[in-house]
Amino acid sequence: MATEVKVPALGESITEATLGEWLKQPGDTVEADEPIASLETDKVSVEVPSPVAGTMGEHVAQEGDTVEVDAVIATIEAGDAAPSKAAAAPSKTEGNADKSDEAKEGSGPGPGEQPRQRPDATAAQQAPAGEGVEAAALSPSVRRAILEHGVDPATVKGTGKDGRITKEDVLAAAESKSEAKAAPAPTPAPAPSAGGERRQERVRMTRLRQTIAKRLKDAQDNAALLTTFNDVDMTAVIEARTRYKELFEKKHGVRLGFMGFFVKAACMALRDVPAVNAQIDGDEIVYHDYADISVAVSAPQGLVVPVIRSADQMSVAEVEKTIGDFGKRAKDGTLKMDEMKGGTFTISNGGVFGSLMSTPIINPPQSAVLGLHRIEDRPVVRDGEIVIRPMMYLALSYDHRLVDGREAVTFLVALKNAIEDPTRILIDL
C-alpha cells in the first residue's frame, strides 16, 4: 500500500514553496523520517521527511514546481527497494541482444545503415565538453550553486547516489577554489570559444532571491533612506582580542571575534538613541525597550538575517556563540523560520568580503541598519602627530521619516566611543 508524502507546514503566513531537489529517486530505500526532498521557501530551505519506511515511489511533483502546503508530492511503497529501471532494462533483453550480436558479428552495417554505438558512448558524445555524462543529471539547485560560485562541474567529485554531484559538493569545491586564490598566479587570457560562440543561460530565481528583491525594492520605495558615515579606530579591540582570544576560546568554546563587541556597543547606543531602535506602524511610532539584533549571514541560497533575541541582555560570549551557530546552520540550510522573524535593528558586516564602504538598505519594518567594513591601516592624526592606525568605516542607513540626522550622528559617536574604549562596554558607560 502506498503512503502519500505531503508538503509539511512551512510556518506562519507561508502557504507554498518551490521543490528544489529530490534527495531520493524512485526505487530507493528510505527510512522513516529520512529526508527525501528539499523545499525552498521565502526564507529558508526545508527538508521533507519520509512519513514511513519503505521504497521511494512516484514523484508527483518535479524539481522547480511550486507546491502548496498539504499537497501530495510523492508516494512511499511498502517493502524493499525495487531494481532501478536502468538496471532492469538490460536484463529483459539480454538474450535477444546476445543473439542479435552473434548474428551480426563480423559483418558491417548494411546499405544505408549507420554503425551501431554503445549507449554509454552515445551519451558521452552528447554531453557538453568538459562536463562528463553526469552533467545532464544535475538538479536545479546544483546548477544554481555552480553558477553562483563559478565552479566547473568537471572538477567536482560527486558524493551523492551513483556519484551524483550534490549542492554540498559544489560548496566544498567553491571553498577550495577560494583558498587557492589566496596565492594568485598570473593566468593567461582565456581562449575564445570555438566559432566565437556567446552563450546565455536562463535560471529561475529562487524563492528566497525573489523575496530579497521585493523587500529591498519596497524599502527604497516606502522609506526616506539616508546614510551617515563615521570611522572608528580598532586598535583597542584588536589588542583586547589578541590578548584574550586563547583564554576566551578555552573557557567559552567559541572564538572571540569583532561582532561580539559591535553587537554590545550597538545595544548601548540604541538605548541612548531609542529612535534608531523603533519602527513606524501606520501613523504611530513603536519604541522597543529591548534590542533584537538581526545579523546578516551569507548562505548558499542568498542572504539570510537571523535574529539575536534580547542581545542587550547577553554577554559577549553568548553573542559570539549565537552568531557562530547561525553561520553554521545558514550554510547547512537548517535555520528555522521563527529565527528570522522580528528584529529591531540590523548589523551587516560587508568587511568580511573586503568592502571598504557601502550604503546598506534597511530591513523593513526596521528603521536603521549598521554597515561594518574592512579594517585597514590608514594615516591619522593623534596628539598632533601622523600615525598609522587600523581604521574601519561605519555606515548607518536609516529612515529619515523617523530618525533625524542629529540622532544618527549621536548613535554613531556612541558606538565609536564604545569600540575605541571597550572598557565602556564592561562598565556600561
- Residues with catalytic roles: 400, 404
CA nearest neighbour of 360 among 210, 216, 224, 208: 216
d(CA 319, CA 51): 37
Query: In the numeric block, which cell numbers belong to residue 301?
Result: 541560497
C-alpha atoms less than 13 angstroms from C-alpha of 390 in its C-beta half-sphere: 11
Nearest to 294 by CA among 328, 261, 267: 267
Query: Is the separation of the CB atoms in 38 and 21 below 8 Å?
Result: yes
- With vertex at residue 9, the alpha carbon angle to CA 58 and CA 145, rounded to the nearest 5 degrees, is 65
Residue with cell 560570549: 317
CA proximity to 21, closest of 132, 133, 137: 137
Please report, to the nearest 10 degrees, the dihedral formed by the alpha carbons of residues 104, 107, 108, 114 taken in order. -10
**4 φ, ψ to 5°?**
-80, 140
How, if at all, do strands 45-49 and 72-77 pair? Answer: unpaired
CB 288 within 8 A of CB 344: yes
Placement of cell 556519484 in the chain:
163
